Structure 1
Amino acid sequence: METVECRVVIRFLYLRGRTPKETFDEMKDIYGEDAPSYDVVKHWHRQFKCGRTLVETAPILGGPQSSIHEDTIQQVEFTILEDRRITVRQLAQDVKINCGKQERVQSSQALLTMCQENQEEFFDRLITQDETWVHHYDPETKAQSKQWRHYDSPSPKKARVQPSAAKKLREAIKSERRGMLTKGVRLLQDNAPVHNAHVAQTKARSCGYEILPHLPYPPDLAPSDFHLFPVMKVFLKGKLFSDDEMLISEVKS
Structure 2
Amino acid sequence: MIILGAQISAPSVNALLNSIDLKMAPPIAVRLRLEIRAVVRFQFAKGTKCSVIYREVVENYGEHAMSMTQVYLWCSWFKDGRTSLQDEPRFGRPNTANNDWSTARVDELIKVDRRVKLKEISLKIDIPKTNVYEIVHDKLRYRKVSARWVPKMLSGEHKRQRVENSQIRMNRCQQGDETVDVGPGGDHRARNKLFEHLITGDEIWLHLSTPETKRDSMTWKHLSSPVTKKFKVQQQK
Q: Tell me the TM-score normalised to structure 2 length.
A: 0.26
Larger RCO (alpha carbons 8 Å, 6+ apart): 1
**Higher percent of residues as helix:** 1
Bigger radius of gyration among the two:
2
**Higher percent of residues as strand:** 2
Q: Tell me the TM-score normalised to structure 1 length.
A: 0.24
